[in-house]
Chain A
């Protein structure tokens, strides 16, 4: 567990993969919240736009010893040596020193995709095509999130629109403090039916997410790279912790479905 950042807040998540059933509600809630478009049918899995993507992984054993987990993977909001921020020529991505959130500003992005090459978590997505929505569907857009056009990268920003709305509400009530666990809840966390996702301020020792992040069940993905991600995964099983140490092989990615 790394030291708290210099900022006042350090927003992060704890995801209990033992609870996750891979239902995908978080993926759809995220796509709706962020006005994410649907690539054309010819786009394969590699060109999808899934800010939050759930992967299935198993322990590689046969029945009756086979075990499966589902891993929701999103931007890890790295805190140290942020690979994507280091390479962006446009300042289109940056770590907010106050919140620790790694932002993405599509209006500045020129689509060089250096950040995608740099990101070890494959959690950045490129708009290969102009987005196409059925006629009239812009009336159903979330008014807090701008749609992105062809040629820019996009990724999870911890529902920045919801953070802004929570801050506006707090300001209207004369408060500077946000009641994070009641007022600022990302769409994926709100959607999860098994309460596998927890969000909050990792700097607040009393918060549920900080407590979970410090538990013995917690681990982070590719921790050896030193990126200090703010997404903590929780599991009781050692084989699941080991999965976090290396990216899955092609055979492991391809062989798991259902």
Chain B
């Protein structure tokens, strides 16, 4: 008989090991370790609470899209569109993550003031506002029109407060930011009377000729426009996109006219040539008022005669046949509209081009008719807020050079960036810029002070009529969060400055809350007796007249949307193709081919997606579209044709230096076979720092490379590029 020997022990041990491995135990331990390591105490816990859904609107842009906000307890956790919403029943990518903006890493909770060393330092809000009040008193005392407020979202009740404050102060200037519009000022230039607000009835049109408008990528209310063009013709208008850049709209349009940079006016005149020559113009309007034999029309006819399809083709890079086909398509497949586009990074079209494009609309009779451009009644103002005692809206280009000593910029709601050249031009040498913003400011923007403002979903905000809408609309973006202590709304800032400066309101007192004025506006809307109220939870509209004023206000507070009735449309009786403004007329008559230079053989065209162009915070999840997928280009991406790049010795994805006569910047080359030869499309935004998880890598704005030219455009600038 033996005892327990070493061999037994080793056999037991070996058997135990084999048995353990063959058993589920190690796999269970692995499993449990995986679960355990995913449940550390520091990991975020999901919110708990009752689930609910509330209706509201998105305030991230003037598109005024409807929202369903899903909440757990009181906190939003998701956002969805409102099907059937009369303004916009879908959302853009940014709208889905708007509830995250409150938590953005660059969120400001106290004021910043630039110190002597040039750095922005945190200061108490009270100290900052006191300093601002001092600057304001200095600017007001230095002479007329030395203080200006730049409003990136005009038309709100806060905008009225700004205008009233400036009017009461005397000598202040109210400026509106470079928001996109339909080019109505250029139309007014052709009419004997200024045109009132205009909308465009895209759903009624059969042909849309767009000159660079991003109809399929963020134009106006993106949900509405994208939904309109989702089907194939003839269920929706035929889309012709005249644009140099291979934008999403150009690539997905029914026809893309890839014109040379800056040749929009030549194209419009070439098309008009064919329409007049072949007598395709609308006889009811154009034919009745214009037989092209009078002196003024004779000048227009002479201009058109010059722009034969051959010349227009040579300037635009299109074939004469393409020009003829497009003109016939536009003039015969009516109602048709020619839309003037503006690029969020590339800026507006030259005024001469805008005038030429309106000429096309007037020729085919699309102004004042269903399926064309229709008049729209303005949104009612709160009672007692007429134009008396308020500073009128002015254009930045009208401000004398170096005249502004203090500029207050309202960045509470995102808007397209003002060209740095425009800002530099109007600021005095010792001029100061104060911004009201929820977030830190990009170093590319001159800033001397930042006052912290509420973030989206922290205060009640008006959402107004989108610029292209055929009828006025009104809704409210509801607050879902308590706003942090220390943030200043525009109405609070104005009240504070008025008290410190002893500036009395001509209407008795400065309102303590903008909501009081919004209520007054709701009553004014009710008083019109017009329009419908849409409730997203029921998907139905009711006549607004069926409600009392208070009930209408309650509906609006709960996410309903008011839309006006259509205004009667009538075609303009009298118009002048060449415009009434002598300068505009001479620019139009001088339309011709832009000359390049041998030192700068390329043409730089900045661009940006409208939701990515606004300086300031971008919701962090938008990195899915940029860094994590490159679905969209970001600031510094230079799109170039591979053949052009190879001629210049450039490699795809290489770092390069892009130079223009105005400066240089490091860029990243991106090959794109759809880009025209000898053109570089440089993305102007968003900047990498706007996601909040890394610093901005440049203090130089991309737009600084493209100076503003005569006429206010910066679409095309001579450039050269070399690999770094």
Chain A positions near chain B (C-beta within 8 angstroms): 18-19, 21-25, 27-29, 31-33, 36, 38-41, 43-45, 48-50, 53-56, 58, 60, 62-64, 66-68, 90, 106-110, 133-143, 145-149, 151-152, 187, 190-196, 254-258
Q: Are A66 and B216 in contact (CB under 8 A)?
A: no
Q: Are A143 and B48 in contact (CB under 8 A)?
A: yes
Residues on A with beta carbons closer than 8 Å to the beta carbon of B691: 38, 41
Q: Are B217 and A21 in contact (CB under 8 A)?
A: yes
Q: Which among A21, A60, A149 has the highest number of chain B CB atoms within 10 Å?
A: A21
Q: Which among A38, A45, A55, A138 has the highest number of chain B CB atoms within 10 Å?
A: A38
Q: Are B46 and A143 in contact (CB under 8 A)?
A: yes
Residues on A with beta carbons closer than 8 Å to the beta carbon of B47: 138-141, 143
Question: In the docked arrangement, what's the CA distance between A191 and B90, Å?
Answer: 7
Q: Is B547 an interface residue (CB 8 A)?
A: no
Given contacts A21-B216, A142-B78, contact A195 B624 (CB under 8 A): no
The one of A41, A107, A143, A194 in contact with B35, judged by C-beta atoms closer than 8 angstroms, is A107
- Give the Cβ gap from B83 to chain A, nearest Cβ, in Å: 9
Q: Are B222 and A58 in contact (CB under 8 A)?
A: no
Residues of B1-51 at the interface with A, using a CB-CB cut-off of 8 Å, are 30-31, 33-35, 37-38, 40, 43-49, 51
Residues on B with beta carbons closer than 8 Å to the beta carbon of A141: 44, 46-47, 77
Residues on B with beta carbons closer than 8 Å to the beta carbon of A27: 93, 624-625, 629, 631
Q: Are B45 and A32 in contact (CB under 8 A)?
A: no
- The interface size of chain B toward A, counting residues with CB under 8 Å, comes to 86
Question: In the docked arrangement, what's the CA distance between A250 and B251, Å?
Answer: 22
- Give the Cβ gap from B619 to chain A, nearest Cβ, in Å: 8
Chain B 641-655: CB-based contact to A (< 8 A → 1; otherwise 0): 010000000001100
Given contacts A25-B96, A54-B631, contact A135 B621 (CB under 8 A): no
- Given A41-B688, A193-B223; 18 other pairs, CB 8 A cutoff: A21-B217, A21-B252, A22-B248, A23-B217, A27-B631, A48-B623, A49-B624, A63-B246, A68-B251, A107-B38, A109-B34, A137-B100, A140-B47, A140-B76, A143-B77, A149-B43, A256-B672, A258-B247
Q: Are A32 and B673 in contact (CB under 8 A)?
A: no
DSSP majority for the A interface? loop
Given contacts A64-B256, A138-B47, contact A38 B247 (CB under 8 A): no
> Which residue of B has the minimal Cβ distance to A191?
B96
Residues on A with beta carbons closer than 8 Å to the beta carbon of B38: 106-107, 148-149, 152
Q: Are B44 and A147 in contact (CB under 8 A)?
A: yes
Q: Are B258 and A257 in contact (CB under 8 A)?
A: no
Q: Are A258 and B48 in contact (CB under 8 A)?
A: no
The one of A48, A143, A187 in contact with B628, judged by C-beta atoms closer than 8 angstroms, is A48
Given contacts A27-B629, A60-B673, contact A191 B620 (CB under 8 A): no
Question: In the docked arrangement, what's the CA distance between A16 and B674, Å?
Answer: 23
- Give the Cβ gap from A193 to chain B, nearest Cβ, in Å: 3
> Which residue of B has the minimal Cβ distance to A133?
B44
Q: Are A108 and B627 in contact (CB under 8 A)?
A: no
Q: How many residue pairs between the two chains, A and B, have CB atoms under 8 Å in the bound complex?
A: 233
Q: Are A193 and B91 in contact (CB under 8 A)?
A: yes
Q: Are B624 and A58 in contact (CB under 8 A)?
A: no
Interface-facing stretch out of B125-133, B499-507, B569-577, B632-640: B632-640
Q: Is B204 an interface residue (CB 8 A)?
A: no
Question: In the docked arrangement, what's the CA distance between A107 and B223, Å?
Answer: 38
Residues on B with beta carbons closer than 8 Å to the beta carbon of A43: 627-628
Question: In the docked arrangement, what's the CA distance between A195 and B100, Å?
Answer: 25
Given contacts A41-B693, A45-B627, A137-B103, contact A90 B34 (CB under 8 A): yes
> Which residue of A has the minimal Cβ distance to B625?
A24
Question: In the docked arrangement, what's the CA distance between A152 and B30, Å?
Answer: 14
Residues on A with beta carbons closer than 8 Å to the beta carbon of B44: 133, 138, 141, 147
> Which residue of B has the minimal Cβ distance to A19?
B230
Question: In the docked arrangement, what's the CA distance between A19 and B102, Å?
Answer: 33
Q: Are B252 and A68 in contact (CB under 8 A)?
A: yes
Q: Are A50 and B628 in contact (CB under 8 A)?
A: yes
The one of B46, B94, B627, B652 in contact with A146, judged by C-beta atoms closer than 8 angstroms, is B46
Question: In the docked arrangement, what's the CA distance between A32 and B625, Å?
Answer: 13
